[in-house]
A and B are shown apart, each in its own frame.
Chain A
Amino acid sequence: MRSAECGVNEANAECGMRSAECQGERRVAARPPTAIPHSAFRTPHWLLGVTLLALLTGCGGDRRTPLVIYSPHGRDLLTLLERRFEQLHPDVDVRWLDMGSQEVYERLRSERANPQADLWFGGPATIFARGARDSLLEPFRPDWAGAIDPHGRAPGDVYFAAYETPVVLVYAEQAVKPEEAPQDWDDLLAPRWKGKLLVRDPLASGTMRAVWGMIIERGLKATGDTGAGFRWLRRLDAQTKEYVLNGPLLDQKIVRQEGLVTIWDLPDILLSRRDGLRLGYVFPKSGTPVIEDAIGIVRGARHRAAAQAFEEYVGSVEAQLLAAREAYRLPGRLDLPLDSLPAWAREVRRVMRVADVDWDALAERGPGWMRYWDESVRGRGVGEGGESGS
């Protein structure tokens, strides 16, 4: 009796020291060696539970008409419009998927046989033009079509420009004084910004494609050749420290002063400033590209009526002002009284000079230019003195 107790105690003491191994051995020893377990699996219940839950939530119903929107506009604007639109149309359930503008186009192309989206909301009109060429869009003319710039109306009424997105020069407010910040495109080539310039990877960004296009078209107009533009971009490449993956990372890197200046679109910068990031911006003196941010109905949309109602709503005076006040979108409508716009938008209308960009030529020749830039300019920049860049 005593010895048995002792043995147990000893075993426990050892278990205390190496509990994991000891338990393992005990479990093995406890099972009679000849027993065949009755079932191979004893605990898939949680798995069953999860599957059931998933099925239940999947089928759990809502009688409203779902309206599926593919959009690069981001959570701020989309949630805002979703809430207000659902108040106005209680029978519609707005569902949006947020993705890059190029991705929307890709996705619509690959889903052409079985379209899932009803509405394509946001992205440069140049990409919409490609979508129209691939017949991904369906004609619909909203009532507000007459109130926007004529160039914002697509041939065949397949898309319309709902907002205008200007490009600005951006700097880190904590490190650069406003009077020292670059004031125009050519200032970016100044020696003091060498290695201090960050650029959003232009291949994946409609905004940057517009800037590159403007630079090349500027050279084309002056010399009749694309060479001048590419020479400028090569010098810019020599100044560039890094091509950054996406907009948010770019903002972060500027704020953390990995670089001091960059080029980006105004709404994003204003939103980041609202959220406390110390970013300053300048409208380039010689003029800046203003991207037409479009909206259009997907061909073969399943919920056409709801999609049309949403497109009508986006261009309504109420929604245009809402987007301007809450999400820093510059209205595409030109008939809004200036005093109803928020202060920043009035300032933009006063200060900004719009660069003359031939958007149709850009849509046509842009991809070729970008391919050339990617292969022959990126990372091969040459500065003023002819030395090789980063």
Chain B
Amino acid sequence: MSSRFGPAARAALTLLLAWLVLYPILIAVGEAAHGDAIRAFASRPGEWRALWASVWISFASVALAGALGVPLAFLFEWLDLPGRKALGALIALPAVLPPFVGVIAFLFLYGESGFVARAVQALFGLRSAPWRLQGAGAILLVHAYSMYVYFYLFTRAGLARLDASLVEAAQALGAGRWGTLRRVTLPLLRQSLAGAALLVFLTALGSFSAPYVFGGGFRVMTTQIVATKLNGELRLAMVETATLALVALAGLAVLRRTEGEDLVTALGKGTGPRRRPIHRASLRALATAAGWLFAALLLLPHLTLLLVSLVPYGSWTTETLPPILSVVNYGRLFAEPERLRPLVNSLWMAAASTCAAVGLALAAGELAGRRRAGRWRGPIAALVALPWAVPGTVFAVALATTFSVHQPLALRWVLVGSVVLLPFAYLVRSLPVTGRAVLAGYWQLDPALEEAAASLGAGLWATFRRVTLPLLKPALAAGGSLAFVASLGDFVTSIVLYTYDNRPISIEIMSSLRVSEMGVAAAFGVVLMVVSAIVLGLGARR
């Protein structure tokens, strides 16, 4: 197939991707290139403080998330605990806590007058709250909680692919447990770990909700941009935006370098190591209890959200626990058409953008994904991965800037204020997820199967539909479901680009919070959580 379309199709795809991904950012950077704004940026210590804060918070998030996620992955992949499957799934649940309202749930739970703080205060008879959830510590807590999932999932996937024969060989050669781990297992996991580290670093760099809610005077770049815009210094805000994008790109480049080649894992054809059962009954019980306790701890924010969603408006003020519980908030959600509308909007936009992103990823895979694809593979894969490196706020601002001018010759049209711009942004933001999954899927395709189909008389389309697609199905389902969930809950891009006709759930959550309807906001959050969990569950089915 690829040979017939040849370089023309590949060039066209590369150009299309460049227009989608790179062009808006270049335009935004061009707008930012004003001498006095750059000088203002360089001369203000506050800007450098925020930049430094962004960088160190991101590295610390990587360290914390890794410290939490990697051991858990080993635990659940190597040890045979009772209820391992259920626990293993529960532990991935922080991934479905919706961004903005999830942070608010943290506030209700661990905040100064939240459940946990009040309980500790009562337990020890303290006169004032034992802690305050504020500043860098609070941001790191939320980041570690929501981002260790990346390390956990990536490491588990890596361990599942691990060739047990290599580990056995090391042991047969006299390596101890520690030596095997250090010299064999970890090097084999390098790609998974680097991938997770990259994802956490970039997510933390672009993270907005947690610094926004907990940061206060502690600024990171994302909140600094908002503060500058609030103060009306739009040029400076553009410079800040461009700086943040540059830092992200630098991070991407550095971590890409450490990712290395996947030769060893690609060669491995053995089976994964068998799980070790724990034989001592007491140890087993202890491990099980610890596992469930940890899962319960992880689920507390979700449960808090559920509880808050059951509190009718204005009925909960100073009590420790809400006095009345009812489903009235859910009733309002589904009975009032103007509140149902955002739900429908989010669903269609996420569905449309995911379909388009999967389609583009398939095109990229078909044209440049196979092992023999040659020199187009590099640029196409890089373009597909680029939106990862660009924080959501930056990309949204870039899109709004690019598409507020009517210059068809420069490939710019007025799309600002129209319904299509937001799903367009979701599409681009989904590209790395679907693209990575599909490109990896094509890379692993056995060319013999497609050749066999062709020699049996199947045409191009039939081969694609009956051989290639079914083989790619797990990759498509995994990438598609992740992209769908991310678009469904998106907050940072939406806040810049929404209009009346396509206002999504996250915006409705925000405006409910603005008018103190915590219950309705939480109910929206719960619905979002349930839909996300279902879609992810469908996507993970093999």
Of the residues A98, A112, A257, A276, contact of B314 by C-beta under 8 Å: A276
User: Which single member of B112, B344, B466, B496 contacts A38 (CB below 8 Å)?
Assistant: B466
- What is the bound-complex CA distance between A275 and B317, given in angstroms? 10
Interface flags for B199-219 (1: CB within 8 Å of A; 0: not) read: 000000000000011001100
B467 interface residue (CB < 8 Å to A)? yes
B85 within 8 A of partner (CB): yes
Closest chain A residue, CB of each to CB of B340: A57
How distant is B99 from chain A, measured CB to nearest CB, in Å?
Answer: 15
Question: Within 8 Å of chain A (Cβ to Cβ): is B500?
Answer: yes
- With contacts A74-B515, A203-B230 known, is A55 near B348, CB below 8 A? yes
**A75 → B minimal CB distance (Å):** 5
Instruction: Mark interface residues in B334-369 (1 if CB within 8 Å of A CB, else 0).
Output: 000000010011011001100000000000000000
Q: How many residues of B contact A (CB 8 A)?
A: 63
In the complex, are the beta carbons of B515 and A75 less than 8 A apart?
Answer: yes
Q: Is the CB of B404 within 8 A of A57?
A: no
The verdict on A325 contacting chain B, using a C-beta distance below 8 Å, is: no
Known A-B contacts A367-B233, A374-B227; A68 and B516 likewise in contact (beta carbons under 8 Å): no
Judged by a CB distance under 8 angstroms, whether A116 is at the interface is yes
Q: Contact between A375 and B46 (Cβ–Cβ < 8 Å)?
A: yes
B500 touches A68 (CB 8 A): yes
Interface string of B406-450 (1 = CB under 8 A from A): 100000001111100000000000000000000000000000000
Contact B113 A253 (CB under 8 A): yes
What separation, in Å, do the CA atoms of A288 and B106 have in the docked complex? Answer: 36
Contact with B along A318-349 (1 / 0, CB 8 A): 00000000000000000000000000000000
Q: Taking the complex as formed, is A86 at the interface, i.e. its CB lies under 8 A from any CB of chain B?
A: no
Judge whether A242 and B416 touch: CB under 8 Å.
no
Chain A residue with minimal CB distance to B129?
A258
Output the least CB separation between B393 and chain A (Å): 12
User: Complex: how many Å from CA A371 to CA B227?
Assistant: 9
Give every chain B residue within 8 A of A98 (Cβ-Cβ).
Answer: 511, 514-515
Chain A nearest CB from B133 CB (Å) reads 10
Give a binary string over A101-131; 1 marks a CB under 8 Å from any B CB, 0 the rest: 0100010011111111000000000000010
In the bound complex, CA of A296 to CA of B28 (Å)? 31
A81 interface contact, C-beta 8 A: no
Instruction: Say yes or no: A245-B499 contact (C-beta < 8 A), given A57-B341, A114-B416, A275-B314.
Output: no
Residues in A360-375 with C-beta less than 8 Å from chain B: 367, 370-371, 374-375
Q: Is A64 an interface residue (CB 8 A)?
A: no
Whether the pair A54, B113 counts as a contact (CB closer than 8 A) is no
Interface string of B489-513 (1 = CB under 8 A from A): 0000000100111010000000101
How many angstroms between the C-alpha atoms of A237 and B511 in the bound complex? 29
Minimum CB–CB distance from A20 to chain B (whole Å) comes to 6
User: Is A88's beta carbon under 8 Å from chain B?
Assistant: no
For B85, B345, B467, B500, the residue with the greatest tally of chain A CB atoms inside 10 Å of its CB is B500
Cβ of B469 under 8 Å from chain A: yes
* Residue contact B345 to A54, C-beta cutoff 8 Å: yes
Question: Any chain A CB within 8 A of the CB of B371?
Answer: no
Q: Give the bracket for the number of chain A residues in contact with chain B.
A: 35 or more
A112 touches B231 (CB 8 A): no
Taking a contact as CB atoms closer than 8 A, the residue among B129, B212, B467, B476 that contacts A245 in the complex is B212
Q: Mark B177-220, 1 if CB is under 8 A from A, else 0.
A: 00000000000000000000000000000000000110011000
Query: Within the assembled complex, what's the spacing in Å between the Cα atoms of A98 and B509?
Result: 11
Which of B129, B132, B515 has a CB less than 8 Å from the CB of A76? B515
A102 and B230 in contact, given A41-B473, A275-B314 (Cβ under 8 angstroms)? yes
Q: Which residue of A lies closest to B415 (CB)?
A: A114
Q: Which of A271-295 contact B (CB under 8 A)?
A: 272, 275-278
Q: Is B74 an interface residue (CB 8 A)?
A: no
Chain B proximity of A115: nearest CB distance (Å): 7
Task: Please determine whether A114 and B515 come into contact, CB atoms closer than 8 angstroms.
Answer: no
Judge whether B44 is part of the interface by a CB distance below 8 angstroms: yes
Q: Is the CB of B417 within 8 A of A97?
A: no
B125 at interface, CB cutoff 8 A: no
For A66, the closest partner residue in chain B by CB is: B500
Q: Does B470 contact A (CB under 8 A)?
A: yes
A97: chain B residues within 8 A (beta carbon): 500, 503, 511
Chain B CB count within 10 A is highest, among A54, A68, A201, for A54
A contact residues around B472 at 8 Å (CB):
40
Determine the chain B residues whose CB is within 8 A of the CB of A55 once the complex forms: 348
* Residue among B226, B418, B496, B515 facing the most chain A CB atoms (10 A cut-off): B515
Is the CB–CB distance between A246 and B230 below 8 Å?
Answer: no
Bound Cα distance A47, B352 (Å): 10
Task: Known A47-B351, A51-B352; judge A245-B230 contact (CB<8 A).
Answer: no
Q: Is the CB of A277 within 8 A of B513?
A: no
Taking the complex as formed, is B318 at the interface, i.e. its CB lies under 8 A from any CB of chain A? yes
Q: Is B465 close to A, CB under 8 A?
A: yes
In the complex, are the beta carbons of B514 and A374 less than 8 A apart?
A: no
A185 within 8 A of B: no
Taking the complex as formed, is A379 at the interface, i.e. its CB lies under 8 A from any CB of chain B? yes
Q: Decide if A95 touches B500 in the complex (CB within 8 Å).
A: yes
Is B67 part of the contact surface with A, judged by Cβ < 8 Å? no
Contact B515 A20 (CB under 8 A): no
A255 & B466 in contact (Cβ 8 Å cutoff) = no
Closest Cβ–Cβ distance, residue B345 to chain A (whole Å): 7
User: How far is it, in angstroms, between the C-alpha of A40 and the C-alpha of B418 when the chains are bound?
Assistant: 35
Residues in B with CB closer than 8 Å to A37 are 470
What residues of B have a CB within 8 angstroms of the CB of A95 in the complex? 500
| Contact partners of A109 in chain B: CB under 8 A | 234
Asked if B238 is at the interface of the complex by the 8 Å CB criterion, the answer is no
* Chain B CB within 8 A of A309 CB: no
Are A275 and B313 neighbours in the complex by a CB distance under 8 Å?
Answer: yes
Shortest A107–chain B CB gap in Å is 9
User: Smallest distance from the beta carbon of B507 to chain A beta carbons, Å?
Assistant: 8
Return the chain A residue nearest B47 by Cβ. A375
A110 near B416 with CB under 8 A, answer yes
Supposing A40-B470, A272-B516 touch, asked if A375 and B317 sit within 8 A by C-beta, the answer is no
Give 1 or 0 for each of B226-243: 1 = CB within 8 Å of chain A CB: 110111111000000000
Bound Cα distance from A201 to B217, whole angstroms: 9
**Interface digits, B69-81 against A, CB 8 Å rule (1 contact, 0 not)?**
0000000000000
User: Are B230 and A174 closer than 8 Å at their CB atoms?
Assistant: no
CB of A46 to closest CB in B, whole Å: 10
Within 457-494 of B, Cβ neighbours of A (below 8 Å) are at: 465-467, 469-470, 472-473, 476
Say if the beta carbon of B134 comes within 8 Å of chain A.
yes
Report if A278-B513 is in contact (Cβ < 8 Å); known contacts: A36-B470, A130-B232: no
Q: Are A114 and B466 in contact (CB under 8 A)?
A: no
Q: How far is the CA of A253 from the CA of B29 in the complex (A)?
A: 41
Q: Which residue of B lies closest to A376 (CB)?
A: B46
Q: Lowest 7 CB-CB distances: which A-B pairs, in order?
A: A54-B348, A248-B516, A40-B469, A379-B217, A114-B417, A275-B314, A113-B404
The 7 sampled A-B contact pairs (Cβ below 8 Å) are: A74-B514, A76-B515, A97-B500, A113-B406, A371-B231, A375-B45, A379-B217
Residues of chain B having any CB pair with chain A under 8 Å: 44-46, 85-86, 112-113, 129, 132, 134, 212-213, 216-217, 226-227, 229-234, 313-315, 317-318, 341, 344-345, 347-348, 351-352, 400, 404-406, 414-418, 465-467, 469-470, 472-473, 476, 496, 499-501, 503, 511, 513-518
Query: Given A38-B466, A58-B348, A174-B318, 16 more contacts at CB 8 Å?
Result: A21-B85, A40-B469, A54-B345, A54-B348, A58-B501, A74-B514, A75-B515, A97-B500, A100-B514, A102-B230, A116-B500, A248-B516, A251-B516, A367-B233, A371-B233, A375-B45
